[in-house]
Amino acid sequence: MDERYSRQILFPGIGKEGQAKISTKHVLMIGAGALGSGNGEILTRAGVGRLTIVDRDYVEASNLQRQQLYTEEDVALKLPKAAAAEKRLRAINSDVEIKAIIGDATPPMLEDLVRDVDLIIDATDNFETRMMINDISQKYKIPWIYGACVGSYGMSFSIIPGKTPCLNCLLRTIPMQGLTCDTGGIISPAVQMVIAHQSAEALKMLVEDWDAVRTSFVSFDLWRNQYTSLKMGKAKFAGCLSCGEERTYPYLDQENMTKTTVLCGRDTVQIRPSTQGAISLEKLAGQLDSLGYTVKGNPYLLSVEMGIERMVIFNDGRALIHGTKDLTHAKSIYQRILG
């Protein structure tokens, strides 16, 4: 083990003691896209004890330009990102206990997952999930590292409950509108820069070098050659509903209902059924096939061609309907296939 991690142990900030700490820690990573690929790989190579990955999507050709864990084979097989990431990361470092969860991060799921988690990495592409992570972090006093990028622009901030302002506090001072959903194009170096900031902060936290953790909000634009670091000491808001004195954790207060959302920057609607339970993809494939649909699939999902739209159904009953942003239309397609 010393040989494997020797260069990291030689680094004074980590050392033998730091390495021993890293190997006992559990990191929860929400998202396995571009940021998740890079952070997941760095933490796995660094020898983190456990890594739990949650992702709701599957690998597509447009991911390969920047999502470094995936290959053309993953695209051809339509593998869920969590499953493909788990496979690749296990091949990189078999010491790390990797757990992949194919699904949409919800408050009950996160509450269940974070019990023995030391750190949460934000590798999502949407604000709704980030605000949920933010509330979970405050409620269970677990640090998390925010990261986002679009185009050649990126930003990162480390949130330590009780010490730094939270993301909900920051919304009062930093204009984040327009970055709530990554709709623009993106270049890979911007992703890598955010990954570098997030994973460096992660290593500091895993070795418990809290004084080294960056307290400023960093943002950059690699195309315009801009780099800024904003002090955030005064951003903490006493009345914040996520971290203030009278906190209510508003983003954990979700009704357990059928949930329909348009996915960020894509002609895709996600439908999550109110009661999540395993469905038999094999049986469904047989039924759809006999009705004349073209069905393809793997053990994790089914892809059904339906003219302009294509529907992907996961074995928990969740579905992605590609080719539309119309929620009502998407729901009618879902009803037609899954009743």
Q: Does 243 interact with Zn ion (rule: CB under 5 A)? A: yes
Q: Is the Cβ of residue 167 or residue 200 nearer to Zn ion in the bound state? A: 167
Q: Are strands 97-102 and 309-314 parallel, antiparallel or unpaired?
A: unpaired
Q: Given the structure tokens 């084979």, which residue do they identify?
A: 73
**Rg of the Cα trace of the chain?**
20
Contact residue for Zn ion among 106, 168, 199, 303 (CB under 5 A):
168
Contact residue for Zn ion among 169, 232, 302, 312 (CB under 5 A):
169
CA distance linking residue 45 with residue 300, whole number of Å: 27
Q: Is the Cβ of residue 251 or residue 314 nearer to Zn ion in the bound state? A: 251
Contact residue for Zn ion among 22, 43, 166, 206 (CB under 5 A):
166
Report, in Å, the least distance between residue 249 CB and Zn ion. 11
Element (H, E) at 220: strand 217-221
Report, in Å, the least distance between residue 236 CB and Zn ion. 7
CA distance linking residue 339 with residue 335, whole number of Å: 4
Report, in Å, the least distance between residue 170 CB and Zn ion. 8
Report, in Å, the least distance between residue 56 CB and Zn ion. 26
What is the distance between the terminal CA atoms of the chain, rounded to a whole angstrom? 53
DSSP letter, residue 263: P
Q: Does 242 interact with Zn ion (rule: CB under 5 A)? A: yes
Q: Does 200 interact with Zn ion (rule: CB under 5 A)? A: no
Site stretch for Zn ion (CB under 5 A), options 28-36, 100-108, 235-243, 285-293 = 235-243
Q: Is the Cβ of residue 166 or residue 190 nearer to Zn ion in the bound state? A: 166
Q: Is the Cβ of residue 13 or residue 250 nearer to Zn ion in the bound state? A: 250
Report, in Å, the least distance between residue 243 CB and Zn ion. 3
Residue 273, token pair as written in the block: 């059924």
- Give whole-number Cα distances, 286 to 276, 293, 295, 299, 332, in Å: 22, 10, 9, 14, 21
Rounded to the nearest 10 degrees, what angle do helices 15-22 and 188-206 cross at? 100
Site stretch for Zn ion (CB under 5 A), options 70-78, 223-231, 236-244, 274-282 = 236-244
Q: Does 119 interact with Zn ion (rule: CB under 5 A)? A: no
Q: Does 137 interact with Zn ion (rule: CB under 5 A)? A: no
Site stretch for Zn ion (CB under 5 A), options 102-110, 124-132, 205-213, 242-250 = 242-250
Provide the edge-to-edge strand list for the sheet that holds 259-262.
259-262, 268-272, 319-322, 309-314, 301-306, 294-297
Count of alpha carbons within 13 angstroms of residue 309, beta-carbon side? 22
CA 29 to chain centre: 6
Dmax (CA) for the chain in angstroms is 64
HEC letters along 151-174: ECEEEEEEECCCCCCCHHHHCCCC
Report, in Å, the least distance between residue 115 CB and Zn ion. 23
Q: Is the Cβ of residue 162 or residue 307 nearer to Zn ion in the bound state? A: 162
Q: Does 152 interact with Zn ion (rule: CB under 5 A)? A: no
Residue 10, token pair as written in the block: 């030689």
Q: Does 235 interact with Zn ion (rule: CB under 5 A)? A: no
- Count the residues of the shown chain that bind Zn ion, applying the rule CB under 5 A: 6
Contact residue for Zn ion among 240, 301, 313, 337 (CB under 5 A):
240
Site stretch for Zn ion (CB under 5 A), options 90-98, 155-163, 166-174, 260-268 = 166-174
Contact positions vs Zn ion (CB under 5 A)? 166, 168-169, 240, 242-243
